[in-house]
A and B are shown apart, each in its own frame.
Chain A
Amino acid sequence: MSDAKFFQRGKIQELRLELNSDKKDRNYTRKKQTLKKIVANMTMGNDMSSLHQDVIACMSIPVLEVKKMVYLFLINYAKAKPEMAYEAIQTFRRDVEDPNPLIRALAIRTMGYIHVDKVTSCLIQPLRHCMRDQDPYVRKTAAVCVAKLFMQDRHLVENAGFIDLLREMLVDSNPSVVANAVAALTEISERSDHIQLQLNMSIASKLVTALNECSEWGQTYILESLMFVVPQEPGDAEMLAERIAPRLQHANSAVVLTAVKVIVYLMNYMSRDEDIHSMCKKLSPPLVTLLSSGPEVQYVGLRNILLVIQKHPEILKNDIKIFFCKYNDPIYVKMAKLEIMFRLASEHNVEQVLSELKEYATEVDVDFVRKAVRSIGRLAVKIESTAQRCVEALLELIQTKVNYVVQESIVVIKDIFRKYPNQYESIIGVLCENLDNLDEPEAKAAMIWIIGQYADRIENSDELLDDFLYTFLEETVEVQLALLTATVKLFIKRPTAGQDLVPKVLKWATEEVDNPDLRDRGYIYWRLLSTDVAAAKAVVLSEKPHISTETDNMDPVLLEELLLHIASLSAIYHKAPTTFIPHCKPRFLIPSPALRRQNYNAGRTLQHQDSYSSLHNSAQYQQSQSNMRSPRSDEDDGNGGLDEFVSSPKQPQHQRLSYHEQSFEQVAEASIGNQEYYEQKINAENPYRTDTAAVGGSQANRGGGVDLMSFDL
């Protein structure tokens, strides 16, 4: 170890000598070489910080390449050794005045990276100058630098007038500057409690003009910022969407998907169905094209497509073929494709979909095969005309005797029985041949449900149940609950066959098992059976509510929220960003006269009822709200028509809450009739939240004869 250290030191010594050598060094070639070595060492993790004096001395060399390496060095070490940065301050000061715009920009950029107070305070004045520099490269670098500074010191940025300067830059003559200014403002707005970006139509229109001329990344920034435009008239939304549409044809998939996001957003503010329809038509081809890119892009594309088609089913409805899986697609791509295939399946294409699914069921990847089998069952439930063929396909799969295929099939066949009673019971015999191989709780529970449900048709149902009961105490709760209910059903349907089994099960459930659900259900059955058999029959064998695949639909509130986050991580996970990203600002559709009502209802009411009650008492909020609305006008007000506004730090919460208030008020008038709908919605299990919650719900209710189905693939 000491040897290594010595070597290092020797090396450093050597480098220092090289750097300070008096030999003739035309064009600083040798210095460049030495600095290169130092930077190389640094990037490999060797500590070069003791060379700082010698390196900083090189800053005065008027060669860009040298400067760059010195700056790299500074950025790397300044955090750990602030004193190093102090030594550089003088040179920084000189560099920001340098006649070469590249050097000015580089100095500003580097200073922004050095999070040392003294450097930061030296940055403020030059940064302000640079934001109005005559060279666009400097201006564009300065814009990003403001965002950087904001991360370090929010108050400084807010109080030193940088936000206003950024606003001015939105009407800069150079599109790249505009793009960067917009990126910085968006970034700041997302992080800040009391700065909220809001763009009016006139500024939006200017931004879209810049869109055509700036780099691919600049285009994503500008498009992203258009999410902060609230169209006041349907015509505005249409015009904007129309002008953005060419971006759908960009080679960069980030530009394409961000354009999709903005257009889907703007559709909320369009009034004429034919406009929405024509936009939907434009969205399909670029989404298809995303799927010919690399697997990562495909994956992001697929997850987002799944959201978009839930809101606008007409998109891609004729393109199901492109979602067919190739055997060498990565697993995650296959899984995502399968979900979309199921969603796009309709009377017209169900033949093809089913034959694909059958093909997938013979592949080797177990998870994928399971999902394919499950999809066949769901397809039967979704499209009645195909149920017969689906059942046949499942029977074929059961004949293969491949264990997990058999189990998966049985699980979905139970759902088919529920959906179409008295149609396919003839296959029960085949199912019963496979009892011995069931080892997964879900498959066991499904099979037991079938036996219980058809206890009177299956000749030896009592024997079959008895076999299962043999291991009752070792089973999972899911299976135990199924066994309990099935045994009671057997007893009610065939008292003689069930009379030996029922007492046994009830005793186990109430005395031997710790699970409260099981115990309670046991007691309820026991009492029902002992007091009033007729009542028990009515409850246990009652007509079951119909199942449909509509439970697969995403909670509309969540869907609306996720649609505002297309192309982001939440759209991949299908989870609201606030649930997994700390300090994330929630987004929602901001009301305007142009906002389509029904979306709006589904989107907002639930989440903001709470804030409503606290707000309602305070007239002051009303006031603040109207104050804040007043600056919104489409007139050019000298700021280039921008009304991105900054409220004073004293009222950080007002602005956000005021939206809630207004949204709720408007909704309240519009949707009194919807009250019932919401209550149901609240009580219902959200199938997307967790699988276990849905399962739990169905178990808890089964005793009462109500089986909630959860269809999660």
Chain B
Amino acid sequence: MIESLFVLSPTGKVIIEKHWHELIPRRVVDFFNDQVSKAMAEGEDVTREDVLPIIASPKYQLINVYRDGLTYLSPVTKEVDPMMVFEFLHRIPDIMQEYFGQVSETVIKENFVTVYQLLEEMMDDGFPLTTEPNSLKEIVPAPNILNKVVNTLGATTSVSTRKMPHGMSNLPWRKAGVKYNSNEIFFDIVEEIDAIVDSTGKAVSCEAHGTIQTNSRLSGMPDLTLSFVNPRLVDDCSFHQSVRFNKWESDKVLSFVPPDGHFRLMSYRVNLPSQQNLPIQVKPSINIGANGAKFDITVSLRNTEGKPVENVVLTLPLHKSTTTLTAQCNVGQYMFDPVGKILRWDVGKVVPRERAPVLSGSFGFGSASSEAAANAGYNIGVEFLINSHSLSGLKVDVLKLFNESYKPYKGVRTMTKAGRYQVRA
């Protein structure tokens, strides 16, 4: 049960405050801010992200989510399911994103009334109520240009008189009466690779997380069936609530009546074998001496089916005592952030069979160097994306439409990108 909600600005000031039960005094926010600054003062490397998502105070358990600079804080006094609280707290910025296009302190302040109305609908007495964007938009109109014009001109709106289906139809996620001139539906299959790769290029752990993001612009009540060429390679999956689970269990097809607009149809996980050929290989070598180190990092492509790898970015956090860095690279640009002690190399696009990008150079520890600096391990964070490529090999076979007579345009795109991908030096 969620009792109260505070939305805090990046400086810890209350932007939104809402109480579904008793009024919880704002002192709790001061306590929370103190705890956050205390936690962050504990070490140089501690960031806001390292602050525990559940902090105990003498009277409350402070459940909090930090997203895009804003903190969503829910102090609770009773036993709750924290997972539910987290899910709900994340839903708030999700919905705001959906309504306002972006989420920030300013955006919230500009849309105070809408935000409060939304919160009122999203939760009743601590029970999450309506959180489907489709249903919410029926109850609380989104501020769009049309609305604004209508409001200022005083023209007739239909909001007041419209009959609202209220999440009470058999399909709470889909509103009735959707109509498009051209019917289309797009599927984006995005696979993120989470991997730990050791310095020899061997994957210590490696999995692909896929999502099928869907944008449905179909009229009426379309009933869809999406099938895959090779559904069995999926190890675990979860679905949007519209998907009929039994059909998946029995036939391994996705059968569903889609919500209108953007939604996540399916998430899945594929365990990749450890000898899996990863699309990109990063070979670091770092030789540490007493006062600094020499390094070079080489990027090469493997197994991308001839496709280029784009937006390649490498980040190498250096030890805190590092003061100087000199380097050179044959491709892209590098940058050293002397405050955060992070070396960032924007490699850009890497095309197969072209010369391999190399960054080499050296860095030096300051006077305060210690054994810890000389013995520290190094990890390189890797980002990249490959268009029209699916690492797992999952392929859509056909999409069939029932219950409606039109022929929709169907689009499928695939993309593979790095998720939490790191290489140990």
A-side residues, CB < 8 A to B, are 26-30, 32-33, 36, 39-40, 43-44, 63-65, 68-69, 72, 79, 102, 109, 112-113, 135-137, 140-141, 144-145, 147-148, 151, 174, 176, 180, 183, 187, 190, 212-213, 215-217, 220-221, 224, 246, 249-254, 256-258, 285-286, 288-289, 292, 294-297, 299-300, 321-322, 324, 326-328, 330-332, 352, 356, 359, 362-366, 400-403, 565, 567-570, 572-573, 577, 580-582, 584
Contact = CB atoms under 8 A, between A and B. Distances in A.
B228 to A, nearest CB: 16
B52 to A, nearest CB: 5
Contacts of A30: 154
Given A102-B164, A252-B87, A569 B127 contact: no
Contacts of A246: 245-246, 249
8 contacts: A29-B154, A64-B159, A137-B168, A187-B1, A257-B83, A294-B90, A324-B196, A362-B377
Given A68-B117, A190-B79, A324-B204, 14 more contacts: A64-B160, A147-B125, A187-B1, A213-B170, A224-B81, A249-B237, A288-B236, A296-B82, A297-B87, A299-B54, A331-B46, A331-B50, A363-B377, A572-B82
A292 B209 contact: yes
A567 B80 CA distance: 8
B239 A253 contact: no
Contacts of B56: 573, 580
A189 B324 CA distance: 64
B116 A568 contact: no
Contact of A65 (B46, B125, B159): B159
A296 B86 contact: yes
Q: What's the dominant secondary structure at chain A's contact region?
A: helix
A416 B10 CA distance: 48
A109 B154 contact: no
B86 A324 contact: no
A363 B376 contact: yes
Given A27-B154, A72-B120, A568-B81, A359 B207 contact: no
A567 B240 contact: no
B45 interface: yes
B167 A176 contact: yes
A145 B320 CA distance: 56
A322 B207 contact: yes
A102 B422 CA distance: 52
Given A144-B125, A326-B196, A251 B172 contact: no
Contacts of A366: 43
A365 B81 contact: no
B128 A328 contact: no
B124 A217 contact: no
Interface string B189-225: 0000010100000001101010000000000000000
Interface residues of B, number: 86
A656 B249 CA distance: 42
Given A292-B194, A363-B377, A365-B45, A176 B168 contact: yes
A321 B166 CA distance: 44
Contacts of A359: 377, 424
Given A220-B84, A364-B45, A289 B269 contact: yes
A115 B371 CA distance: 64
B79 A577 contact: yes
A140 B169 CA distance: 13
Given A30-B154, A254-B84, A364-B320, A581 B372 contact: no
Interface string B374-406: 111101010000000000000000000000000
Contact of A356 (B124, B154, B204, B381): B204
Contacts of A296: 53, 65, 82, 86
Nearest to A79: B23
B241 A215 contact: yes
A292 B116 contact: no
Contact of A328 (B65, B87, B420): B420
B82 A568 contact: yes
B112 interface: yes
Contacts of B45: 364-365
Contacts of A297: 83, 86-87
